[in-house]
Amino acid sequence: MNILEVSNLTKKFGGLTANSNISMAVKQGSITAVIGPNGAGKTTFFNMITGVYQPTEGEILLEGKSIVGLKPDQVAKRGISRTFQNIRLFGEMTVIENVLVGMHTHLRGNLLGIFLNLPNTRKEESEAEVEAYRLLEYFNLEPFINEKASSLSYGNQRKLEIARALATKPKLLLLDEPAAGMNPRETRELTEVIQRMGKEFNVTVILIEHDMKLVMEISEHIVVLDHGEKIAEGNPDEIRSNPKVIEAYLGKAALELEKR
Ligand SMILES: Nc1ncnc2c1ncn2[C@@H]1O[C@H](COP(=O)(O)OP(=O)(O)OP(=O)(O)O)[C@@H](O)[C@H]1O
């Protein structure tokens, strides 16, 4: 079954077409990667799915229902969560508080309940803390729960962002360059965490990533964008050997790797 179906999605910024007529489907429970050179339109694509930008044309169906026209908070309530290319944590808050903030989007207890310390709200809050702890344990972040988020290493901050995004119990999780800035050891650990996450949290993952080793290792399906257009899609073997993809992206990515 497809959890997400996108058809003829187009986004124009004045004279610039950032996404042109993109169609794709994402199978429930799968890991899909969106790859392509800088400026290919990958983040714009995520921004349309999450309601940050409205498409100029096209349709986005989540579990068969259109989400076009919804605002980001409404899209989040439908079950889509995301992380960003630049880390967006509350640096002055503790690690567990960052996860609890993520959870409040779906807790029933309101602010008045918290203020009055009502029994139901208290129960919900302590259940949330247990769940937040479980999430942090999953990401090996439990030793840091009471530390400021800004004091974590870069790799741990990236993992905390994913934990916070999962705290909303999304059906679909969009990760924008989760391995950016990570060292090889952190990237290996992240690869393994993302791989197990789908089953553990019953979540479908779409990720934008430039680390081709990670992409080829964990993706069931890969969509390649170039100049706003989908130039290829398929499994890792098909993408690796696709001449169009090598020409537009993989050849350059390999050269970049050689330079390092
Ligand atoms: N809000 C905006 N207004 C005008 N142009 C934009 C806007 N957002 C993106 N663009 C343009 O759309 C094109 C696609 O950008 P986008 O950020 O989606 O690419 P990308 O594939 O995510 O790139 P990168 O890998 O560098 O993050 C670029 O030419 C960019 O300058």
Query: What is the set of domains in the chain, with CATH numbers?
Result: 1-79+170-260 (3.40.50.300), 87-169 (3.40.50.300)
In the predicted model, what is the mean pLDDT of residues 69-83?
Answer: 95
Q: What is the ipTM of this complex?
A: 0.95
Query: Residue 125: which pLDDT band, with cuts at 50, 70 and 90?
Result: low
Give residue 113's pLDDT: 55
Residue 66, pLDDT above cutoff 90: yes
In the predicted model, what is the mean pLDDT of residues 188-209?
Answer: 93
In tens, the pLDDT along 148-171 reads 999 999 889 999 999 999 998 999
In tens, the pLDDT along 14-29 reads 999 999 999 999 999 9
Nearest alpha carbon, ligand 1 atom 1: 13
Least confident of 59-63, 88-92, 218-222, 223-227: 88-92
Beta carbons of 144 and 152 less than 8 angstroms apart: yes
Per the prediction, the chain carries an average pLDDT of: 89
Q: Is the CB of 18 under 6 A from ligand 1?
A: yes
In tens, the pLDDT along 77-119 reads 999 999 988 778 888 899 999 999 878 655 555 555 555 666 6
Q: Is the CB of 43 under 6 A from ligand 1?
A: yes
Give residue 194's pLDDT: 94
Q: Which of 176-181's residues contact partners 24+ apart within 8 Å by CB, and which partners?
A: 176/42, 176/43, 176/46, 176/82, 176/83, 176/84, 176/85, 176/207, 176/208, 177/85, 177/208, 177/209, 177/210, 178/83, 178/207, 178/209, 179/209, 179/210, 179/211, 179/214, 180/85, 180/210, 181/154
CB burial of 137-175 (b: ≥16 within 10 Å; e: otherwise) equals ebbebeebbeebbeebeebbbbbbbbbbbbbbebbbbbb
Q: Please tell me the pTM assigned to this model.
A: 0.89
Give residue 128's pLDDT: 83
> Ligand 1: distance of its center to the CA of 17 in Å?
10
Percent of the chain surpassing pLDDT 70 = 88
Beta carbons of 26 and 222 less than 8 angstroms apart: no
Least confident of 23-27, 179-183, 236-240: 179-183
Of 10, 11, 13, which is best to mutate to test ligand 1, by the most ligand atoms within 8 angstroms of its C-beta?
A: 13
Instruction: Please tell me the total number of residues recorded for the chain in this structure.
Output: 260
Percent of the chain surpassing pLDDT 90 = 73
Residue 256, pLDDT above cutoff 80: no
| Structure-token pair, residue 197 | 């996450």
- The residue written with tokens 């918290």 in the block is 114
Give residue 95's pLDDT: 95
